[in-house]
Amino acid sequence: DIVMTQSPLFLPVTPGEPASMSCRSNQSLQHNSGYAYLDWYLQKPGQSPHLLIFLASNRASGVPDRFSGSGSGTDFTLKISRVEADDVGIYYCMQGLQTPFTFGPGTKVDFK
Amino acid sequence: QVQLVQSGAEVKKPGASVKISCKTYGDIFTKNYVSWVRQAPGQGPEWLATIDPLDVISKVAQNFQGRLTVSRDTSTSTLYIELSGLRHHDTAVYYCARGYCGRESCYKFDQWGQGTLITVS
């Protein structure tokens, strides 16, 4: 199985300031198509996860452009250019390259 | 409107089975792969299974093979998972989600059901 790790596990943030988190896999997530099969999801308390970024760097419909994803191979980053109040929650990365699809442990984002 | 609506919470005894439904709206049932994911209290999500729109290929996590069954009802555009031999650690919220998949890979789980809490006690 592909193992996903995330850091940090807790990220204290300040509104208006940038934030960044990392996701790593123990195998390359590059598909034959050239895309990295790495998605980012945000889960707020009591809610279903919702998609932010797919294929490492593509923003999902309706996701503000302050969110950006980058990376390839085994190293990926999610950045928030200016954190807003609505951004608190747990951010998960997920690899969809091969079954079992696996999620990272999550990065909990909350205000300082 | 594209939507997935799941069945309600249930409490089950150890050893029992549970069947969870995910009713789809829009084109999901005929055009999209649907995956099942669960999340135990305080834990990250765990992928369980994916079923294709033609009901030809379904992938089930190896840890659940023999215990998890995925099925579809064409007449109601509803998908189901059934988990047997329930144990305390099967207590979790179970989600269905629309994804985009090829033969081996999936990405972009962009529509999720509201979740179904299954408590084994």
> Any bridge partners for residue A68, and if so which?
A79
Residues 18-37 of B with CB under 8 A from A: 35, 37
Chain B residues touching residue A49 (CB < 8 angstroms): 37, 45, 95, 109, 112
CB nearest B107 (choices: A96, A103, A106): A96
- Is residue B53 predicted with pLDDT exceeding 90? no
In this structure, what token pair is assigned to residue B62?
A: 């190896």
Chain A residues touching residue B62 (CB < 8 angstroms): 100
Q: What is the mean pLDDT of residues B23-32?
A: 91
B63 close contact with A: CB closer than 8 A: yes
Measured CA to CA, the distance from residue A110 to residue A89 in angstroms comes to 7
A75-80, strands of its sheet edge to edge = A4-7, A19-25, A75-80, A67-72
In this structure, what token pair is assigned to residue A21?
A: 């988190």
pLDDT in tens, A29-42: 999 999 999 999 99
Q: What is the mean pLDDT of residues A42-67?
A: 97
Whether residues A39 and B46 touch (CB distance < 8 A) is answered with no
Chain A residues touching residue B114 (CB < 8 angstroms): 48
Side-chain half-sphere CA neighbours of B93 within 13 A: 18
User: Among A7-11, A52-56, B73-77, which is the least confidently predicted range?
Assistant: B73-77
- Beta-strand relationship, B10-12 and B116-120: parallel
Task: Output the pLDDT for position B65.
Answer: 87
Triad B100, B104, B105: Cα angle to 5°: 40
pLDDT higher for B30 or A77? A77
